[in-house]
Amino acid sequence: MSPKSNYLNFLKLNEKKLNKPDARVVVAFYKFIEVSNTIALQNSLKLIFNKSEIKGTILIAKEGVNGTIAGNKDEISVALEKIWRIGLLIDLEPKYSFAYKNPFFRMKIRLKKEIVTIGLTEISPNKMVGNYVKPENWNSLISDKNLLLIDTRNSYEISIGSFENALNPNINNFREFPNWVTKNLINKDPEIKNKKIAMFCTGGIRCEKSTSYLKSLGFEDVYHLEGGILKYLEKIPKKESKWNGSCFVFDYRVSIDHNLELGHYEMCFACRMPISKIDKMHKYFVQGESCHHCFKSSSDKQKKRFKERQKQIELSKKNNLKSVS
């Protein structure tokens, strides 16, 4: 099925939800591809978005493109048609979900050294990568009792949901992943490079880079979930799912459930931990400043900075900024 056909199928399956006045299509995408002229690609994308109400963030680097955008279905349809006309992005395969208000405040298109930061610029899925496993085949793969299943996301993401029997590396950011591999896999098990390993992440980008990293170290039998958790939740019926809990997303929805709808968590914008309604009742919770996870670990100076940031967030919500930067 072509990228356009997948999008039209998503619209058809969710027609009633998307016909609500404030419904927004959320589009997450990435592609590892050699970009010789990052500025030219940035300018091409700016031309698509600078006259629309679509908001989100797109990162561009020599290794590819990574972004999440949101808007009403008509504007998103037009934008996707234009994106697919760009030669480098003709086969871009996004993941779709929805929100009942735009989860972003503005549109940003930025140039970066990496589209997902592992801190090792020599690692590139454009050169080598693990085996892609489609969502439809994922359940069968992870049912293998001899498989080592690794969740490559940050600990605060994993805290609200993951796949059954997945190993949590307990990392705070993706840069820590290479050290974790050395300390907890290679140093502890001399035969680890010969074992069957599968990895997953939110949209596929981190696990694709992590399999590239493992392949560079000599790991042989490495797999990852194509399209990540988002594509799995989109494709696999809830009754057949091996996913437990909610999926953390990097926007103001904070989490989505198996129906791709808004989850039951908010975010502490001081420490980025997802927090529930019960957590918000804790004496240490202050909107935008602290929660019970971070109140004792943050300084007064940090709390003051978080408070000021919260003011700016509220101001952005009020002004509904439209600028493309």
Residue 318 confidence class, pLDDT cut points 50, 70, 90? low
Please identify, in words, the CATH class of the domain defined by 3-111: alpha beta
The structure tokens 């990293």 sit at 213
Average pLDDT of the chain is: 91
**Bridge-based pairing state of the strands 131-133 and 222-225:** parallel
What would the mean pLDDT of 187-215 be, rounded to a whole number? 96
Predicted confidence (pLDDT) per residue in 132-184, tens digit: 999 999 999 999 999 999 999 999 999 999 999 999 999 999 999 999 999 99
- The fold of the 131-240 domain, in CATH, is Oxidized Rhodanese; domain 1 (3.40.250)
| DSSP structural state of residue 74 | H
Alpha-carbon distance of 137 to 268, in angstroms, equals 35
Residues 6+ apart with CB under 8 A from 215: 128, 129, 130, 222
**Bridge-based pairing state of the strands 107-111 and 148-151:** unpaired
Alpha-carbon distance of 28 to 240, in angstroms, equals 24
Residue 201 catalytic? Answer: yes
Catalytic, out of 201, 207, 271, 294: 201
Q: Residue 321 has what pLDDT? A: 45
Burial track 88-107 (b if 16+ CB lie within 10 A, e otherwise): bbeebbbbbbbbeebbbbbb
User: How does DSSP assign 247-274, residue by residue?
Assistant: EE-SSTT-EE-TTSSB-S-EE-TTT--E
Q: What are the structural domain ranges in the chain?
A: 3-111, 131-240, 265-317
| Single-letter amino acid code for the residue at 241 | S
Predicted confidence (pLDDT) per residue in 19-53, tens digit: 888 899 999 999 999 999 999 999 999 999 998 99
Q: Same CATH fold, 131-240 and 3-111?
A: no
Alpha-carbon distance of 113 to 27, in angstroms, equals 23
